[in-house]
A and B are shown apart, each in its own frame.
Chain A
Amino acid sequence: SQQGEEDPQALSIQEGENATMNCSYKTSINNLQWYRQNSGRGLVHLILIRSNEREKHSGRLRVTLDTSKKSSSLLITASRAADTASYFCATDLEGAQKLVFGQGTRLTINP
């Protein structure tokens, strides 16, 4: 089964609102990453948070990590139509370079 599970599977909000997506995982990790995928395109790396970090910011993105609960959240503030995409969390199994991706959250921003 997938290491990472995103919640919700789909999210539809109005432009300007904040969007929050959650990710849960099962085993110990070195870091957790979030990627975005626009329709018909490859994944694009957004942000990486290490296991010893609790929160990280990048522009309108805020990521939190709770290793005790094995969960992470991605917050996109002041959403724009261009944020419409699927968002995936990815975890590396401790000591391994390869990533395991969740099933993703499909985000739709309505103008």
Chain B
Amino acid sequence: DAGVIQSPRHEVTEMGQEVTLRCKPISGHNSLFWYRQTMMRGLELLIYFNNNVPIDDSGMPEDRFSAKMPNASFSTLKIQPSEPRDSAVYFCASSLAWEPQHFGDGTRLSIL
């Protein structure tokens, strides 16, 4: 049973560049969550979807961040333009309704 799959695992890019993070949730799960983890702020929820529809994006830092879920098996988190303060580990998680969440292993993003 494949878990949540995130790509890439590591991304290093220069500030100003567009960054796209990808997530494949567990098949059959209908909720998908994007988190950001930093030493200073811990694990923060950015946005979550139910049945491919964004439900709460109040954690998205600013307009430079956007997330989409075009179908039940794929989601993207995009940062454009990227800034050094966006450096963090970004996690995707999925769940079936209100059941516990399953996390991917994250994308470690470094913006130079």
Contact = CB atoms under 8 A, between A and B. Distances in A.
Interface in B33-54: 33, 42-43, 45, 48, 50
B106 interface: yes
A71 interface: no
Contacts of B86: none
Contact of A45 (B31, B42, B91, B100): B100
Interface residues of A, number: 20
B4 interface: yes
B103 A88 contact: no
B42 A101 contact: yes
Interface size class of B (residues with CB under 8 A): 20 to 34
A2 interface: yes
Contacts of B101: 43, 45, 99
A98 interface: yes
Given A98-B33, A98-B56, A44 B103 contact: yes
Given A41-B106, A97-B98, 9 more contacts: A33-B100, A40-B105, A42-B4, A43-B43, A43-B91, A88-B43, A97-B50, A97-B55, A98-B56
